[in-house]
């Protein structure tokens, strides 16, 4: 059983009205491209790691970039959210956060530099002696 992600025809029929019109040269199958984009994002892969069953990585990236800049994905999410019959239980989350392993220690540093340890000890010694 394959773990590749494929949009079915019913799903494509719901989101097809939000796609931009094709101009000139017919574009690669939207279902294959969009399924590949979802697979890459869902699995946090690099574009170059796209399986061979999807279009080439360059095609996936170009379509994702172009459609993101045009607001196509935002329109799809807004349109699907507006279609939801139950407004009590609506949750669409596109959050993706990635922090470097040293990010938690950065907030303690002022100006990106910690005070000199020798200076700190001198200050502590002076405070203890003079009191």
- pLDDT, one tens digit per residue, over 13-70 is 999 989 888 888 888 888 999 999 999 999 989 999 999 999 999 999 999 999 999 9
d(CA 18, CA 77): 10
- For the record, the structure tokens of 5 come out as 């992600």
Query: In the prediction, which pLDDT does 1 show?
Result: 36
Q: Is the dihedral of CA 102, 105, 107, 109 positive or negative?
A: negative
The reported pLDDT for the residue numbered 106 is: 58
Which residue, among 33, 30, 53, has the nearest Cα to 41 in the 3D structure? 33
Please tell me whether the overall predicted TM-score, pTM, comes out greater than 0.85 for this model: no
Phi/psi for 113 (5° steps) reads: -145, 135
| Alpha-carbon gap, residue 64 to 131, rounded angstroms | 65
């Amino acid at each position: 059983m394959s773990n590749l992600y494929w949009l079915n025809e019913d799903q494509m029929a719901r989101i097809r009205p939000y796609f931009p019109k094709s101009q000139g040269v017919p574009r690669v199958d939207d279902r294959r491209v969009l399924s590949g984009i979802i697979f890459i994002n869902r699995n946090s892969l690099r574009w170059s790691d796209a399986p061979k069953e999807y279009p080439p990585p360059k095609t996936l990236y170009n379509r994702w970039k172009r459609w993101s800049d045009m607001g196509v994905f935002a329109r799809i999410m807004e349109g699907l959210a507006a279609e939801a019959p139950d407004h009590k239980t609506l949750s669409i989350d596109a959050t993706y956060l990635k922090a470097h392993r040293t990010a938690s220690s950065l907030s303690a540093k002022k100006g990106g530099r910690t005070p000199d340890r020798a200076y700190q000890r001198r200050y502590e010694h002076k405070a203890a002696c003079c009191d």
